[in-house]
Structure 1
Amino acid sequence: MLSRLIPRDEQFFDLFNQLAGHLRTTAQLLDQLFAEPNRTTELVKQIKDVEHLADQLTLTISTRIDKSFITPIDREDIHLLASRLDDVIDRLDGTARRVVMLHINEVREPAKRMAHVVLRAAELIGKSVAAIKRPSEVATQTAAIKLLEEEGDALYHDAVGALFAGKPDPIEVIRWKEIYESLEQAIDQCMGVALAVQSISLKNA
């Protein structure tokens, strides 16, 4: 009875949308990085700046969980979704830093395509998070993200296979295998976010 009299803190949904927006921005910047490697230094810094904002927002969400008497969804689910969104952003930041660390000056086509898959998945995640109270819409976005995950897996396997074709340069193999793996993991993590959103949406329908 008491829980009906105390208002729930609905601002968590706004915070989720903000965090999904940071993911979309990070993915856009990474997509630009692979399209315009001459801007690597500038774009890596911008990605790091957004990653810091995402970390601060994730901390805000965690603090708000502790301070809220009643939350609109389970506390564990709030933490799960915030953490998964932040983890993808961290992964994209790590991918960008690997481009610098591995001295990538010329970008291979599969990396461009995989980065664009990440961007498309991030855009769909934004739509899914915004529709979290509408399970049918979330299901549509989840299905679309699943197709992108499959596309990303295919790109990854083809790209790694091409690295070992003929007489490969061992240094190039090391460099690009690490980049491809990081991008593929980011795509998989996007699927993890989508499944978390879908689970929360269905649980609270």
Structure 2
Amino acid sequence: MRFRVTPHDSSFFDIMAETADCLVRGSALLVQILNADMKDRKELAAKLHEVENEADGFTHKLYQKLNQTFVTPLDRDDLYLLASNMDDCMDYMDEAGDLIVLYKIGELPKRVVAQVNVLQRCAELTAEAAPRLRSMDSLRDYWVEINRLENEADREYRRLLADLFEKEDDPKRIIKLKDIITSLERGVDAFERLANAVETIAVKES
């Protein structure tokens, strides 16, 4: 590990750990929305939006701290990138949950469950990895597994699109479902961008 002359300020990493916890809670709510009856989804989506607002609060807190801190434990741009990518992960999950409610979709295709399961696993892995961001050590398994999950999600997404146009007859339902699965796909992509950022920073810090 390269010697660093910067002081150890753990508060940046505490904020990111709190944001990662929001990702876990948000993904769990997304699973609940998927499995809930239509009448219960609106309340669950509102809870998901509350978690998204909480995550936004942590992101703004970190940005504010960056603006007020002269010397940071990682490069300023790297901390900003990590926070921004976490924010994207949360935003896409919130968007997907919102669309499921707004579009009044009844039963969703089974492959959508697989998509959401991947998102939930990505969130859990991110939360597990968050404490190790302090030292940028022992993170390789994290980004390797996230990349594997993203590849799995890509395959599910392509199959979902194929099934959508083959099995669905209602053009409105096709458009609605495509919007939802695209939001979920973008969520997984956001987790991959976060993992790639972690890998880049870890290599730079080594």
Is TM > 0.5 for Structure 1 vs Structure 2? yes
Alignment of 1:142 onto 2:143: yes
Pairwise CA RMSD? 1.8
Q: 1:165 aligns to what SS in structure 2?
A: helix
Match of residue 84 from structure 1: 85
CA contact (8 A) 2:30 2:116 kept: yes
Q: 1:154 to 1:86 in 2, by over 3 A?
A: same
CA contact (8 A) 2:13 2:134 kept: no
22-31 vs 163-172, greater mean Cα deviation: 163-172
Match of residue 161 from structure 2: 160
Counterpart residue identity of residue 28, structure 1: A
21-30 vs 167-176, greater mean Cα deviation: 167-176
Match of residue 174 from structure 2: 173
Please state how far the C-alpha of 1:40 moved relative to its aligned partner: 0.7
Q: 1:164 aligns to what SS in structure 2?
A: helix
* Consecutive unaligned residues in structure 2, runs of 5 or more: none
CA contact (8 A) 1:10 1:71 kept: no
CA contact (8 A) 1:110 1:155 kept: yes
- Match runs of 1:1-205 below 5 Å: 7-38=7-38, 39-133=40-134, 135=136, 137-165=138-166, 168-205=169-206
Q: 1:37 to 1:118 in 2, by over 3 A?
A: farther
Please state how far the C-alpha of 1:8 moved relative to its aligned partner: 4.2
Counterpart residue identity of residue 30, structure 2: L
135-144 vs 57-66, greater mean Cα deviation: 135-144
Counterpart residue identity of residue 161, structure 1: A
Q: Distance in 2 between matches of 1:34 and 1:166?
A: 20
* Consecutive unaligned residues in structure 1, runs of 5 or more: none
Q: 1:167 to 1:188 in 2, by over 3 A?
A: closer
Counterpart residue identity of residue 192, structure 1: R
Please state how far the C-alpha of 1:136 moved relative to its aligned partner: 5.6
Please state how far the C-alpha of 1:111 moved relative to its aligned partner: 1.1
Q: Distance in 1 between matches of 2:56 and 2:134?
A: 25
CA contact (8 A) 2:7 2:73 kept: no
Q: Distance in 2 between matches of 1:159 and 1:100?
A: 20
